[in-house]
Amino acid sequence: AALFVPSGSMGNQTAIRAHTQPGDEIIAHADSHIYHYEGGAPFALSGCSISMMQGRGGIFDADQVRTAIRPVESHFAQSRLVIIENTHNRGGGSVWPIEQIQEIRKVVDEFGLSMHLDGARLMNASVASGIKPSRYAELCDTVSICFSKGLGAPVGSAVAGTTEMIRR
């Protein structure tokens, strides 16, 4: 299922809100779009903090995710969602290696987390890597895509996921 939204930021934020509840923590790169360019929305709209990963070109690895996951205990924000951005805007258009996403997916599944793909430039990643957008998308629980980035539309984005997630 999918939902049309006016902007990529709105797509990301609807996905974050669908995956989380106030007090949860998101695992994302320190240079991620959701942190730098979405007006504090994860904090304001969903009440979530962000555990900021480091990594060249906006890319982090499964071991970093594993280390960032907080213990399930009342003193900690609960790790709930991992967000990757492909291609990575502040990373100079870095394309995530599919193998790295697969490894992160294993950790996400092991700990019962969710994963969102900020795919504003997913078509660019697909052209650069030769990997179909659907292959990237199947590794994530939700995916956003921006129609004005690389596709030439004047406005608009979509967020896609299960019917239940999109209804939420």
> With 90 as the cut, is the pLDDT of residue 151 above it?
no
Residue 107 in contact with residue 139, Cβ under 8 Å? no
Q: Which two tokens stand for residue 167?
A: 């209804």
DSSP string for 108-156 = HHHHT-EEEEEETTHHHHHHHH---HHHHHTTSSEEEEETTSSS--SS-
> With 90 as the cut, is the pLDDT of residue 107 above it?
yes
- Name the DSSP class of 88: B
State phi, psi for 95 to the nearest 5 degrees. -105, 125
Residue 114 pLDDT grade (very low, low, confident, very high; cuts 50, 70, 90): very high
Residue 168 in contact with residue 143, Cβ under 8 Å? no
Distance of CA 122 to the CA centre of its chain: 12
Give mean pLDDT, residues 55-76: 96
Residue 152 pLDDT grade (very low, low, confident, very high; cuts 50, 70, 90): confident
Q: Which two tokens stand for residue 114?
A: 């969710």
pLDDT at 150: 78
Give mean pLDDT, residues 80-109: 97
In angstroms, the CA 62 to CA 94 distance is: 17
> With 90 as the cut, is the pLDDT of residue 164 above it?
yes
